[in-house]
Structure 1
Amino acid sequence: MTASAIPSGSGTAMASSEIDRVRALLASRPRPTGLAERRERLDWLGSLSTLPQDVRAEPAEAGGVPAEWTVTPGADPGRVLLFLHGGGYVSGSLASHRVMVAQAGREAGARTLALAYRLAPEHPFPAALEDALAAYSFLLASGVEPGRICLAGESAGGGLALATLVRLREAGTPMPACLWCASPWTDLAMTGASIDARDAVDPIIHRGYLEDLAAAYLNGADPGGPLVSPLHADLRDLPPTLIQVGSAETLLDDSVRLARALAAADVAVTLAVWPHMIHAWHLFHQQLREGRDSLAQAGRFVRAHTREA
């Protein structure tokens, strides 16, 4: 296991001012209580970034699941980043993460396939997992080599991506080349100390909110089960993994403990802790230098592990 704390790329003062502006933006529109309003708010956050004109976005269907391809100039058509969005399993969409996913694909030199997996509470566990597995099978059936696929996810999508790998291994399905997790939620039992220790500094994720999300997704399932809390799964024989997390996240321990568990299972893992960054800071890459730098780091990781044709 390698671990690192990433220095601010543009100086402490600038980094502080940029993240403070993001915090102020979030405070200007607090999270509402209604489900529809919460979903709309996350889409609104995504709309604050502009899709570059050279990005081609195309609707798709991946194994019966709504999805979207994004392609940037120079992308290797045989290299695919399969992305599972965040939103606590109850919100998030193709729209909320489109710009961030496109930039990740640009950095990785890959096409991206973002998945609109089914959401709770309308579709609780295991619906999202079934959709992720269907999308991966779609890629293999389409002729994409597993060694040229990176499975990726942010927040709940990071936990979902990890659970997907566990199921693929159990089924004997060829694994993707690598896994990229951004601010992953890996423990729905919420036993990490940082959930309370970082509560005052994380403007997005708090225990009560997580409890609501977990209840909607689990619908009575065991919160410690390995396919909903893959921190507790058998992690042997998984592909090389990059975990990115901010030091100001209540979910910091979900990443730190995951890196330790992967290392104990002899999985090549890199844990990158970004100082002062909040949950899902990648979404704000057009406003935040660390967002751009973290996507560039992820892109280098994907390029390094997805072999050339």
Structure 2
Amino acid sequence: MTSTARPASRAVTGAASHAASRIKFPRTSRRAAALAGGLRTVGKPALNAWSYAPGLSRLSGIMDRTADHLALPTGTSVATVQLGPCDAEWIRAARTRDDGAVLYLHGGAFIVCSLASHRRLVAATSRVTRQPVLNVNFRMLPEVTLEGMLGDCLAGYRWLLDEGYPAERISVVGDSAGGFLAFALALALRDEGLPRPASITGMSPLLDLDTERKAASPHRDKCDVFSVRSCRALQRLIAQVDADHEIDGDRVSPIDADLRGLPPVLIQMGSREILRPDAEEMVDRLAAASVPTTLQIWTGQVHVFQAAASWVPEAAAAMREVGRFVRSNLPAAQGSSRTARDSSARAARSAAGG
């Protein structure tokens, strides 16, 4: 069993070769195969059952209560932050710096998961990026529409700005549905004339609410987690919530948006995921918009396999790739942003005191 996954191939898109690259990583461990088998046996049937009875999503509370008792790596600190209508957690792994911060948006199909379910993955993100991470506990369906969730994510971004982190030192990371929100956030910031973040990382991101591309995917029956049926159930649920909140008009997913002006992007995807065609199309569209983009395809890995970084070697390797990407897109440090902010505050107090 090999402990480190190395890229097997690297290819660059033709039309905008300067902007996008594709890298494929091999599967090297039996643990990855065991994880895929377990999800295919248990997780996928459970999601299919949910598609018949969406009320089963309430059972996610059991998962959250269990996750709440999982130990975090030694030296990790967690503090609660209030963001108006929702809360968040400010998570620091050991030996983090203050030269930047990460805004983390968790997955869960917009209906499940929580701060607790993603706390270990967020702590791992803090460790590999060597930065503190704000994990936003945004409200979910059916309480709010996607616009309500996006508003909570914007509140998290503004909190980081208010804390003294300049936009060019804020990185946005999201997994699955959180990846959808990460791109939606960056687009909203651009459209509102607010400063853009340093980068966007999507771990198995959901990029298209429509299921047409997924239904035509060669991976539709190979995916270890999702089926076309479960994807259609989510699409119907979002439409129903929109109708309940009297939202009119067609939704524009990130894949269909004007992508110009976005910061550098990293997308990581398992090779058999039903979401893979969306990711490949998104990379082409980002390249056409001259957005520097890397797509990493991890052979045989499951949806958001990075969450298994403490157990699966390829997941640990993928997290290291995330850390390198985030740090490589920060401007050259001139001292930490927090140090600069504190120095300015001290100077202001000194001036005020005469």
Q: Same fold (TM over 0.5)?
A: yes
State the match for 2:325 in structure 1: 301
Check if 1:198 corresponds to 2:222: no
Tell me how far apart the structure 1 counterparts of residues 296 and 306 of structure 2 sit (CA, whole Å).
13
After the TM superposition, which residues 1-309 of structure 1 pair with which residues of structure 2 at under 5 Å, given as runs? Answer: 1-8=20-27, 11=28, 13=30, 15-17=32-34, 19-21=36-38, 23=40, 26=43, 32=50, 33=53, 34-40=55-61, 43=64, 46=67, 50-193=71-214, 196-218=217-239, 219-220=242-243, 225-226=251-252, 229-307=253-331, 308=333, 309=336
TM-score by length of structure 1 reads 0.90
Closer, same or farther: CA 262–45 of 1 in aligned 2, 3 Å: farther
Tell me how far apart the structure 1 counterparts of residues 185 and 121 of structure 2 sit (CA, whole Å).
22
Closer, same or farther: CA 276–265 of 1 in aligned 2, 3 Å: same
CA contact (8 A) 2:74 2:94 kept: no
Which moves more between the two structures, 52-61 or 212-221?
212-221
Aligned residues: 305
Which moves more between the two structures, 69-78 or 102-111?
69-78
CA contact (8 A) 1:22 1:284 kept: no
Tell me how far apart the structure 1 counterparts of residues 45 and 69 of structure 2 sit (CA, whole Å).
13
What is the letter of the counterpart of residue 254 of structure 1?
D
Closer, same or farther: CA 224–252 of 1 in aligned 2, 3 Å: farther
Tell me how far apart the structure 2 counterparts of residues 28 and 217 of structure 1 sit (CA, whole Å).
21
Tell me how far apart the structure 2 counterparts of residues 194 and 45 of structure 1 sit (CA, whole Å).
34
Deviations 1:23-49 (A, max 9, x none): 556479776543444423653785696
How far residue 298 of structure 1 moved from its aligned partner, in angstroms, is 0.3
Closer, same or farther: CA 68–287 of 1 in aligned 2, 3 Å: same
Closer, same or farther: CA 290–40 of 1 in aligned 2, 3 Å: farther
Tell me how far apart the structure 1 counterparts of residues 249 and 186 of structure 2 sit (CA, whole Å).
18
How far residue 136 of structure 1 moved from its aligned partner, in angstroms, is 0.8
How far residue 7 of structure 1 moved from its aligned partner, in angstroms, is 2.3
Q: Match of 1:77, SS?
A: coil
How far residue 78 of structure 1 moved from its aligned partner, in angstroms, is 3.5
Tell me how far apart the structure 2 counterparts of residues 114 and 195 of structure 1 sit (CA, whole Å).
34
CA contact (8 A) 2:31 2:311 kept: no
What is the letter of the counterpart of residue 233 of structure 1?
A
Closer, same or farther: CA 222–156 of 1 in aligned 2, 3 Å: farther
Which moves more between the two structures, 60-69 or 255-264?
60-69
Tell me how far apart the structure 1 counterparts of residues 153 and 324 of structure 2 sit (CA, whole Å).
24
Tell me how far apart the structure 2 counterparts of residues 153 and 42 of structure 1 sit (CA, whole Å).
20
What is the percent sequence identity of the aligned residues?
30
Closer, same or farther: CA 206–38 of 1 in aligned 2, 3 Å: farther
How far residue 5 of structure 1 moved from its aligned partner, in angstroms, is 0.4
Closer, same or farther: CA 87–193 of 1 in aligned 2, 3 Å: closer
Larger radius of gyration: 2
How far residue 200 of structure 1 moved from its aligned partner, in angstroms, is 2.4
How far residue 292 of structure 1 moved from its aligned partner, in angstroms, is 1.1
CA contact (8 A) 1:57 1:69 kept: yes
Q: Match of 1:40, SS?
A: helix
Tell me how far apart the structure 2 counterparts of residues 48 and 24 of structure 1 sit (CA, whole Å).
25
State the match for 2:9 in structure 1: none
What is the letter of the counterpart of residue 62 of structure 1?
L
Q: Match of 2:212, SS?
A: coil
Q: Match of 1:267, SS?
A: coil
Tell me how far apart the structure 1 counterparts of residues 318 and 63 of structure 2 sit (CA, whole Å).
21
How far residue 140 of structure 1 moved from its aligned partner, in angstroms, is 1.1
TM-score by length of structure 2 reads 0.79
CA contact (8 A) 2:267 2:294 kept: yes
Closer, same or farther: CA 195–66 of 1 in aligned 2, 3 Å: farther
